[in-house]
Amino acid sequence: MTSAGDFAAVAAIARVKNPISVAKRLLGTPHILLVADGATEFARRCGFGEYDPTTPKAKKRFSQVMAITDRMGEWSYTDLERAWNYDTPLREVLGGDTVGSVVWDGQTFACALSSGGTMAVLRGRVGDVPLPGCGLYAGKHGAIATTGDGEYIARSLLAYRAHAELEGGRSPEQIVEWALNELAENVDLGIIVVNKTGFAGGARHGMAWHGQFLESAAR
């Protein structure tokens, strides 16, 4: 998403190495979101080849989750967390990875997110990442990208509201503090924010690492 009004996303796409690159190609169409088979077919027509994302780590994680569900039957995340009795932390087994970025080039703000999703969800589930104003938002006052428990982030329209706080005069550091206090303490959350004067990031429950790249440092 950019502060120029551009937005594109894909979700539930299969067997594509870099879905975020497919989303970038979607910017050249009238659409903002493609899902499932339609997203995969669009990727193929754009030249993105077949890719098997299966790794030994992913297989191990999947097997662990399947073993848990077999023994416990139907369970909620809260029930699973309460009953967890393995050496491997629950979040390591069930978690997914999200990579986010926010940028300002002196004229335009932009943000991007790419997520592997979460293991313990229903087939067809779409989280906050491809929903504008939920996982990410870019406007004339700055750009925001988040990661964490997607359903909570989406229901709160967190990124859009964070931009509104930027518009109201809060600094990126204040936005991070605001966001971490906005959702319940047990909700996983990480956030990065940039505006014309600065950058800030923060997280809880070990959700995210955040860093800053400065053009001057690269020279």
Q: What is the rounded CA–CA span in Å between residue 127 and residue 135?
A: 8
Q: Is 113 exposed, middle or buried (0-12, 13-18, 19+ CB in 10 A)?
A: buried
Q: Is 96 exposed, middle or buried (0-12, 13-18, 19+ CB in 10 A)?
A: middle
More confident residue, 153 or 68: 153
pLDDT band at 217 (very low <50, low <70, confident <90, very high): very low
User: 80-125: per-residue pLDDT in tens?
Assistant: 777 777 676 666 666 557 889 999 999 999 999 998 777 666 778 8
46 within 8 A of 25, measured Cβ to Cβ? yes
User: 47-70: per-residue pLDDT in tens?
Assistant: 999 999 888 877 887 777 767 655
Q: What is the rounded CA–CA span in Å between residue 48 and residue 41?
A: 9
Beta strands in the chain (DSSP E): 9-11, 33-35, 98-104, 109-115, 136-139, 142-148, 189-194, 199-204
Catalytic residues: 98
User: 160-201: per-residue pLDDT in tens?
Assistant: 999 999 999 999 999 999 999 999 998 889 999 999 999 999
DSSP secondary structure letters along 41-81? HHHHHTTPPP-----HHHHHHHHHHHHHHHHH-S--HHHHH
| The two structure tokens encoding residue 189 | 């959350």
Q: What is the rounded CA–CA span in Å between residue 121 and residue 93?
A: 13
Nearest to 27 by CA among 12, 48, 5, 50: 5
User: 1-47: per-residue pLDDT in tens?
Assistant: 999 999 999 999 999 999 999 999 999 999 999 999 999 999 999 99
The domains found in the chain, sorted by start residue, are: 56-94 (no CATH), 98-218 (3.60.20.30)
Q: What is the rounded CA–CA span in Å between residue 180 and residue 216?
A: 30
